A = this chain, B = another copy of it.
Amino acid sequence: MKIDLEPSPVRGFRFAGVSAGFKAVAGALDLGLIVADHPASAAAVFSANRVKAAPVYVTADRVKAGRLQAIVANSGCANSFTGKPGMRLAQDSCAEVARLLGCAPELVAPSSTGVIGHLFDFEKMKTGAAEAVRNLREDGLGDFARAIMTTDTRPKTATTSFKAAGTTITIAGAVKGVGMLSPKMATMLGYLMTDAVVAPGALKRSLKRALPTSFNAITVDGDMSTNDTVVLMASGAAGNRALGARDQETFDRAVSDISAALARELVRDGEGATKLVTIEVRGARSAADAERAARQIANSPLVKTAFFGCDPNVGRILMAAGSSGAYLESDRLVLWIGGIKVAAAGRLITEALPTAGKAMKESEFTVRLDLRLGNSRASILTCDLSYDYVKINAEYTT
């Protein structure tokens, strides 16, 4: 499905991004608001980390009813590992936004991203929320995307439109990175809005179906945030008839495609990343084996530094696959880097390495490992490990 990386209005929603003073840089946008004209169908997925942030608990609790009307998201402070005061702060922030909007507090879900272990200033939240409500605009998604950025170097949005159930349906989304398995607690936050009429259960299924090929198929550094959240909301403003099986299929595909496009933008903007690399493992005996091998390659610091150095280091890739726990036989597997076959029949194809090294100079390439043992496959999007990754993360202060 065609995905446009620009923000666009979605009928039934308004957006804002303002500066509440949470970030150190004066005037930087750090408070975002998404508001549906009426309570919207909603579904969400969250971090699997055992240490979860207060806003994750509050959002998870509220989305259970399948309806949300607003999202209040701040950057500059993760409100994670903050105990009961953190829970109160998340709830109070929602109550304040609900008061300003004139809706029930249970219809407002909070998100936070930034430094862990600290509370944000509630007075700043109140002032910021009032300003955000005044600034709500149908074309405000770009501002919202900017307000949730942390180490992101650019806002990330996407839009798609398609015909289904007798009308044109739009889905737009905004995310911040830099990975579902994300660096420095900076957290992956994602919001998808559609004007379609869709029940919460169907939204949840769409989202779960999209995850394995989008937000769960990327990695920047193998670390997993405490705040990761993806929300999908449907305003119903498109007024479509009930989605038939084929409409639902189209809708699901659109959610998967826009999620994949946004996930890709997250990795492209990974901390210090200079290259986007797809790790494809096929021919595995099981899906679990394929995923294990792909993830181990995608997360190996040795493989990622070799990507940075444009070094067709077959040994590191096979070492990672071999240590992943996936069953493999080194005499059977075949490996390609950037489309160039570099290993087969238990041997390195030495003469192919210079060409593979050249292919690695591109900003995007694929590493494909065929284990030739079965029919299972997995694909993970990763980036390289550069000096800038160390710089960004060693100089960041709690």
Listed in ascending order, the chain A residues whose CB lies under 8 Å from chain B are: 48-52, 78, 80-84, 115-118, 183-185, 221-226, 300-302, 305-306, 308-309, 311-316, 318-323, 326-328, 330-331, 343, 345-348, 350, 353, 385-387, 389-391, 393-398
A322 contacts which of B49, B331, B389 (Cβ < 8 Å)?
B49
Chain B residue nearest in CB terms to A186:
B302
B51 touches A300 (CB 8 A): no
Q: Chain B contacts of A345 at CB under 8 A?
A: 83
Closest 8 CB pairs of A and B: A116-B315, A117-B348, A51-B322, A309-B394, A305-B393, A224-B323, A83-B346, A50-B322
Q: Chain B contacts of A51 at CB under 8 A?
A: 318-319, 321-322, 328, 330
A315 touches B50 (CB 8 A): no
Q: Chain B contacts of A48 at CB under 8 A?
A: 323
CB proximity of A314 to chain B, nearest CB, Å = 6
CB proximity of A253 to chain B, nearest CB, Å = 30
A183 touches B223 (CB 8 A): no
A50 touches B394 (CB 8 A): no
B343 touches A117 (CB 8 A): yes
A301 touches B389 (CB 8 A): yes
Q: Chain B contacts of A83 at CB under 8 A?
A: 331, 345-347
A320 touches B117 (CB 8 A): no
Q: Chain B contacts of A385 at CB under 8 A?
A: 301, 390
Distance of A389 Cα from B139 Cα, bound (Å): 45
A330 contacts which of B81, B305, B323 (Cβ < 8 Å)?
B81
CB proximity of A120 to chain B, nearest CB, Å = 14
Given contacts A115-B315, A353-B398, 9 further A-B contacts (CB under 8 A): A51-B321, A51-B330, A52-B330, A81-B347, A117-B314, A183-B302, A301-B389, A311-B397, A313-B396
Q: Chain B contacts of A322 at CB under 8 A?
A: 49-52, 224, 226
A315 touches B80 (CB 8 A): yes
CB proximity of A182 to chain B, nearest CB, Å = 9
A301 contacts which of B52, B223, B316 (Cβ < 8 Å)?
B223
Q: Chain B contacts of A183 at CB under 8 A?
A: 301-302
CB proximity of A333 to chain B, nearest CB, Å = 9
Q: Chain B contacts of A398 at CB under 8 A?
A: 311-315, 353
CB proximity of A18 to chain B, nearest CB, Å = 26
Distance of A313 Cα from B395 Cα, bound (Å): 11
CB-defined A-B contacts under 8 Å, sample of 20: A49-B322, A50-B322, A50-B326, A51-B321, A51-B322, A81-B314, A81-B346, A116-B314, A117-B343, A117-B350, A183-B302, A223-B302, A223-B316, A226-B322, A301-B389, A305-B389, A306-B393, A312-B398, A314-B398, A353-B398
Distance of A185 Cα from B84 Cα, bound (Å): 47
Chain B residue nearest in CB terms to A330:
B51
B394 touches A311 (CB 8 A): yes
CB proximity of A42 to chain B, nearest CB, Å = 26
Chain B residue nearest in CB terms to A82:
B347
Q: Chain B contacts of A309 at CB under 8 A?
A: 393-397
Distance of A48 Cα from B323 Cα, bound (Å): 7
A390 touches B313 (CB 8 A): no
B387 touches A391 (CB 8 A): yes
Distance of A49 Cα from B318 Cα, bound (Å): 10
B184 touches A302 (CB 8 A): yes
CB proximity of A168 to chain B, nearest CB, Å = 41
Q: Chain B contacts of A387 at CB under 8 A?
A: 387, 390-391
Chain B residue nearest in CB terms to A347:
B83
Distance of A308 Cα from B394 Cα, bound (Å): 6
CB proximity of A285 to chain B, nearest CB, Å = 12
Q: Chain B contacts of A320 at CB under 8 A?
A: 223
B308 touches A390 (CB 8 A): yes
Q: Chain B contacts of A389 at CB under 8 A?
A: 301, 305, 390
